[in-house]
Structure 1
Amino acid sequence: MGMSVTIDKATAQDAEHILKLQYLCYQSEAELYGDYSIDPLTETLAELRAEMADTCVLVARLGSEVVGSVRGRVDADGTACIGRLIVHPRMQRHGLGGRLLAEIERRLAAERDAARYRLFTGHRSEGNLRLYRRLGYAPVATEEISRHMSLVTLEKEAIPAVAGA
């Protein structure tokens, strides 16, 4: 490709790019479950901008193009809820999703005192489940959303930062 992908905190100017990429990336999930009314496909720009105000949102850039993103926030009990991990289809299977997930984990632990990480995906989303398991996440619950879809919740403990590291 010639250029390397960088990961940075999202800016207000990134919101529209994130939303467009999110719409592209979640088409395959919607098709897999036969439901095009899933939240990532119905989220508005105003909703995303409001979420960006109090959520850690990262973007992956190839040059100036946003090719990935992830979001996370930490609850009062120290649980970091991570979501909307997206990577442009042409950039998938090159480790970018893992890099985004590792970076949001690092930032949520360092900046917001995350003690554990939680995320979820659909039960048929085998690629997502493989990635999360490979990165140390374990299933802790499954919730039936509809006849055709169940959400699998996965968690892992945060590794405490070493002083002076």
Structure 2
Amino acid sequence: MGMSVTISAATGQDTEQILKLQYLCYQSEAELYRDWSIEPLTQTLEALRDELAGGVVLVARLGGEVVGSVRGTVDAEGTAHINKLVVHPRLQRHGLGGRLLTALEDRLAGEQGARRFRLFTGHRSEGNLRLYRRCGYVASGTERVSSRLSLITLEKAAVAEAYTTSA
């Protein structure tokens, strides 16, 4: 009998699994850019605990295993900053990344009033770019970080809730 993947808020007990998954998932990015000093690979457990306390962190679970995660915060202007969307390599290309992203957008818009969403990825990260574009994100800027890396910022507006008027 198969199990389904569920998405829920991360808890403090998920911290180590999230960090291990993040480390696993960002190996391909490090290889792509030939840079193993990227922040997701050097982040400490304590820094991750701070992120859990300071923003919204969702996890995807398959049974008791954390197989995906995404994080976000909303600033004073209503912009949600989304980062570290990861899905275990064995579950990639099955829609889980899109499900996590949509769940986080819904939560940030509904509970924290986000009016727009912003995220970034490396210019060579074609899989990430395809996912974000498929989810409605549009490139809004590029920042050259080094000779090997440019970060592409992508954004989209939050969908306003439909309303009815009385006649």
Q: Does 1:63 align with 2:89?
A: no
**1:3 aligned partner, one-letter code:** M
> Structure 1: which amino acid aligns with 2:10?
A
Q: Tell me which residue corresponds to 2:152.
A: 152
TM-score by length of 2: 0.96
Structure label with greater radius of gyration = 2
Alignment of 1:49-88 (within 5 A): 49-88=49-88
Instruction: Provide the residue aligned with 2:119 in structure 1.
Output: 119
Distance 2:57 2:7 in 1: 10
Q: How does 1:29-44 map to 2 (within 5 A)?
A: 29-44=29-44
Runs of 4+ in structure 1 deviating by more than 3 angstroms, as ranges, are none
Write out aligned runs for 1:123-134 (5 A): 123-134=123-134
- Distance across 2 between alignment mates of 1:45 and 1:162: 41
Q: Secondary structure at the match of 1:152?
A: strand
User: Take 1:160 and 1:104, find their aligned partners in 2: how far apart are those partners?
Assistant: 16
Distance in 1, Cα, partners of 2:160 & 2:49 = 31
AA in 1 matched with 2:78: G
State the AA in 1 paired with 2:89.
P
Task: Give the deviation of 1:161 after TM superposition.
Answer: 2.2
Amino acid at match of 1:87: V
Structure 1 unaligned blocks of 5 or more: none
User: C-alpha deviations, 1:45-102, integer Å up to 9, x for none?
Assistant: 0000011111100000001100000000000000000000000000000000000000
Shift of 1:162: 3.1
State the partner residue of 1:7: 7
Q: Distance in 2 between matches of 1:130 and 1:117?
A: 17
